[in-house]
Amino acid sequence: DIQPFRMPNAEKLAKKGLYFEKLIDLCVNSPNALLVGVDHVASKQMQDIRIELRGHAIVLMGKNTMIRKALDIGHERHPMAGMDKLRAATNGNMGFIFATNCTLDHIREVLSKYIKTQAAKVGQVAVVDWFIPSGPTGMDPSQTNFFQALNIGTKIVKGQIELVSDFQILKIGEKVSASGAVLLAKLGIKPFEYQMQVQQVYQDATVFSAAVLDISDAVLIQKFIAGVANMAAFSREVGIPTEAGLPHAFGNAFRNVAALVADIDFTFKEVEEVKKFLADPSAYAASNPVAAAPAAGGRGAAPAAAKAAAVEEEEEEDVDFDLFG
């Protein structure tokens, strides 16, 4: 039979309106949130999380149709708040946790405290790979039929069943069999753990993967330094001065100045050490065992000196006395 269409009463409309306004207000005034999946999360877990986050963050759940409607309205009012991106990310059994007086990392720490273990149920899709380890099971020989149903190799040792080798009873993505569920229950194994899963982040009017939150400061610093090095190399190559390339430009300029004043009667503090080395290289070689080793060998001294002279002559030809070359 076709059910007649019923208009929602005033109370339901008022509740929807309040929900819409609350979600829009949080997106505009507290645009720092985690999108969390709540599959298999128990009501007690949800309650405990709400209590611990009270005063620090707001947990907001709702039907996807209501969430999308609220975000549509909000996007029309505040087109720069990124609620259209948030609407596109709304799917499945999920909700929001808006940080009002804490960091997103603090919220994730709270969520990690509330994990519920659960027994495997027949027909349930496994979310983990699970192996029953070899060795004693604690079950008496009268219960070998449970193992035989799953073709698990066993033996009887000291009046109890032992597994000959490890056996994988659950595979990710596969449904739990009736025999597997019964056996896991008899072994007292609860293989599944459920908690609020952080899926995405809403921040600065955009939505991105929660994996970004796991990037450490060391990784960011390393990537930044690599970027600065690339910028310096690029600017030097094209001849456009940049802040990243200035240290290299000054270094090259100093080498040119040092070459210019090496053979004239003029000096300054920064070039004094260079002129000392040019005046008596043997003094520096004596203080460096690696450099002095060929000289001590006798036969390798003359070729090494000739090679050094050739390199020095070649370098002199390359110097163009450009302070910023």
Give the number of other CB atoms < 10 A from CB of residue 27: 23
Q: In this prediction, what percent of the chain has a pLDDT beyond 70? A: 85
CATH topology of domain 13-115+195-213: Alpha-Beta Plaits (3.30.70)
What is the domain partition of the chain in residue ranges?
13-115+195-213, 124-191, 217-287
The CATH class for the domain spanning 124-191 reads alpha beta
Radius of gyration of the chain (CA): 36
Mean pLDDT of the chain, nearest integer: 81
What is the per-residue pLDDT across 221-277, written as a single tens digit (0 to 9) for each? 888 888 888 888 877 777 777 877 777 777 777 777 777 777 777 777 777 777 777
Q: Are 60 and 22 in contact (CB under 8 A)?
A: yes
Closest alpha carbon to 42 in 92, 117, 109, 113: 117
Q: How many CA atoms lie within 13 A of 252 on its CB side?
A: 13
Reading across the β-sheet that carries 135-136, which strands appear in turn?
A: 135-136, 160-163, 154-157
Asked if pLDDT for residue 284 goes beyond 60, the answer is: yes
Give the number of other CB atoms < 10 A from CB of residue 175: 14
Q: What pTM, to 2 d.p., does this model score?
A: 0.60
